[in-house]
Structures are given as C-alpha cells and as structure tokens.
Amino acid sequence: MTHLATAPGRTPASGLPARPHVRQAAPDAGASGQAAPDAVASPDAATSRVDAFKAAGRHTARVRLLRRFILFGAVLGSVAIVVFAFFNPFRAVIPGLSIDGVGLSGSKVTMDHPKLTGFRSDGRPYDLLASSAVQDAKTPNVLELHDIDAHVTMADQSVVHIVSAAGLYDSSKETMQLKSAIHLTSDKGLDAHMLSAFIAFKTGAVETHEPLTVVMTTGTVSADSMHMVDNGATVVFEGHVHTVVTPAATAAQTASTMKGTAP
C-alpha cells in the first residue's frame, strides 16, 4: 500500500483534513511549585528588613524612655518649687530670712523680695530688703542682692538708711559688700554718696576705700576713704580730705542744697 505525504495546510487526496501541527509549550516552572529564578528573595534583603525592624524597635524604646525622663523631671521640678515656697529650707542656713516667692535655675535659687532681720551685738535691730536675691547651692550662706534697702540702728539711737543697686550678703558673718550706686543717710543729718562700701551689721561699722562726698549739718567733706567705727559714734576720713565748714546760720540751707549730690 502506497502512503502519500501531505504538506502542511494542504488536503490529501483522500479528502480528510490535515492534522494540525501543535507546538508543545515549555513547562511552567511555577506549576511544579518552584519559583522562577528572578522571583526568589535575596538573603541580604531579608536580613536588611530584620535589621530595620529591630532598629525601629530600639528607637521606639528610646523615645518612650525619654518621655518618662521628661515627665519625671517636670514633676520633680514642680515638687521642689512647692517645697521651697512653703517650707523655705534656707531659714536654717540664713536665720531671719523671709521671701515672697522662689524659683530654680540650675544650681541657683532665685528669690523674690527677700527680707533679712537681725540684731547687732548690742541688741539693736537691723533689717535688709531687696527686690530679688540669688543663692548658689555651693555657697548657701551668701546672697546676691539687687535693689537693696537697709536700715541699721546705731548706738545713739539714730537710724542709718542705706540704698544700693547691688551687693553680696554673708549670713555667716552678717556682713554685706555693696558694689554700686550707694547712698547713705541718717536721721542725724548725715548724707553720703559712695562707689562701694563694706558694712558689718553686728558692729555697725561702715567703710569705703573709694572717693566719696559727705554732707553734714556743719558742712561737707570729700575724701578718698572713710571708716565709721564705735557703732557710728566716730567717722574717720582719709586721703585728700577736703572740708568745708558752714556757719550754723547757713548750715541747714547748704545741707539741703548738697544732699543728693554724687561725688
């Protein structure tokens, strides 16, 4: 029997259609349950994701801890201010101290309108007012005062009034160093302007080592330094002393004219 070969697309002589030529597709790698080579995750990428997750966790923990520290610090600061305001622990360090308000700034304590009261060695009182004060925890017995207004009762019962822009008060020695714009007056007619001064409240001594001018009921005195001793009973002027004595008839008028004149 003779076999006839039929070309693709052509009908054999028997009249039957030609069998279509079917191309077999390549096996699907996914169908066998294995991923294509380019779809497999890199081990380095997986490690990077794990590290990033751990880093994010550590950052969250640090932020949570920082928030707790901030909250704790705020609460501690508030409690400290309340303690200072109501219990005033500096009374034990500085006797006779009273304040209107208190604040904290690092190791320093700020006080509003401090007032110091005490007694001299002879029992006569003195008081010291200021608009504000600063106290360092390292030197609790020292106060830095601003806008000072002090009164000291002397042995002859006269009262010396001292005003200064700033000064340092040492509670352990009951002394004060005034630094600028000092004006000293007394109800006995003394009126003095000084650039600096040192005051010992216990003894009533006042001294300055810078030029000053003093107006009294009997005249005026200019000098390079001054010492007030014996509870204010004796005033000693030193260095280039210049004195103008005024007759009693015109003393009151001269004192009224000269008072308030800076050196």
pLDDT of residue 256: 57
Percent of the chain whose pLDDT exceeds 90? 19
pTM of the model: 0.58
The helix/strand/coil state of 218 is: coil
Percent of the chain whose pLDDT exceeds 70? 64
pLDDT of residue 163: 94
**Left if phi > 0, otherwise alpha if psi is -120 to 50, otherwise beta: which for 15?**
left
pLDDT of residue 234: 81
Between CA 125 and CA 139 the distance in angstroms is: 26
Between CA 178 and CA 147 the distance in angstroms is: 11
Between CA 222 and CA 215 the distance in angstroms is: 9
48: which 2 tokens? Answer: 């990077």
Band of pLDDT at residue 77, cut at 50, 70 and 90: low
Q: Which of 4-13, 22-31, 152-161 has the highest mean pLDDT?
A: 152-161
pLDDT of residue 50: 67
107: which 2 tokens? Answer: 């190791």
